[in-house]
């Protein structure tokens, strides 16, 4: 019987949630026995190889490419999980939501204290993904099945959630894994 496939992506995140996944230490060997990794920064596959049982989403949507990737994950994955506060609420990148996008761009590229840009040109190469008006949490773009909070969620949280789902059970996390004091 073929193993279930899991895919992961980092949208507008810092890769800290992926680091936390790698922090399951030697259990990564057990995970490799349980699943096949599909599209993921872990194996650097850029395209899906097949239908996936689980997709892990790190980061919210800050630009058009993030939206495209997230929609692709929703199409290809049976269960989609927002991993970490950036996917769940936008996280730190969403601090820019309080400032109009035009002002953010001007501060970053024209009038910031360390900027030298006499032509006052704001980068607009078509290869650069268009920034959205604000940073959106993943569930405001596609349906998300589970949220795993934390910045990042701990390795044990990720391990317990993944092994429960892959075993066909619902996720039941003990209080110790979801408290942050």
Mask 4-23, x = binds ligand SF4 (CB under 6 A)? ---------xx-xx------
Residue 38 or 85 with smaller CB distance to ligand SF4: 85
The Cα-based distances of 19 to 2, 16, 105 in angstroms read 27, 5, 30
Q: Which ranges in the chain belong to alpha helices (H)?
A: 16-22, 27-34, 64-76, 85-89, 101-106, 155-166
Question: 3-state DSSP call for residue 177?
Answer: helix
* Least distance (Å) between residue 85 CB and ligand SF4: 4
Contact residue for ligand SF4 among 34, 151, 166, 173 (CB under 6 A):
151
| Residue 82, beta-bridge partner list | 57, 147
In the DSSP assignment, the letter for residue 17 is H
* Least distance (Å) between residue 81 CB and ligand SF4: 13
| H or E, element range at 22 | helix 16-22
* Least distance (Å) between residue 149 CB and ligand SF4: 9
Which residues make Cβ contacts (< 8 Å) with residue 159, sequence separation at least 6?
Answer: 24, 27, 31
Residue 55 or 91 with smaller CB distance to ligand SF4: 91
Contact residue for ligand SF4 among 77, 152, 160, 161 (CB under 6 A):
152
* Least distance (Å) between residue 31 CB and ligand SF4: 19
* Least distance (Å) between residue 20 CB and ligand SF4: 7
Mask 86-125, x = binds ligand SF4 (CB under 6 A)? x----xx---------------------------------
Name residues contacting ligand SF4, limited to 29-88 (CB under 6 A). Answer: 58-59, 84-86
The rounded radius of gyration (Å) of the Cα atoms in the chain is 18
Closest C-alpha among 99, 83, 51 to residue 150: 83
Q: Which residue has the tokens 């940073």?
A: 135
Residues lying near ligand SF4 in the complex (CB under 6 A): 13-14, 16-17, 58-59, 84-86, 91-92, 151-152
């Amino acid at each position: 019987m073929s193993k279930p496939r899991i895919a992961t992506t980092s949208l507008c995140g810092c890769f800290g949630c992926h680091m936390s996944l790698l922090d399951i230490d030697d259990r990564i060997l057990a995970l490799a026995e349980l699943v096949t990794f599909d599209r993921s920064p872990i194996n650097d596959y850029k395209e899906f190889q097949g239908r996936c049982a689980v997709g892990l989403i790190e980061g919210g949507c800050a630009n058009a490419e993030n939206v495209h990737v997230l929609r692709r994950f929703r199409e290809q994955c049976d269960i989609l999980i927002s991993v970490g506060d950036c996917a769940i609420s936008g996280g730190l990148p969403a601090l820019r939501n309080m400032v109009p996008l035009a002002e953010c761009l001007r501060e970053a590229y024209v009038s910031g204290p360390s900027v030298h840009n006499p032509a006052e040109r704001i980068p607009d190469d078509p290869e650069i993904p268009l920034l959205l008006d604000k940073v959106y949490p993943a569930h405001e773009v596609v349906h998300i099945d589970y949220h795993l909070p934390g910045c990042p969620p701990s390795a044990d949280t990720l391990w317990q959630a993944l092994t429960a789902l892959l075993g066909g059970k619902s996720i039941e996390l003990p209080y110790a894994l979801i408290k942050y004091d």
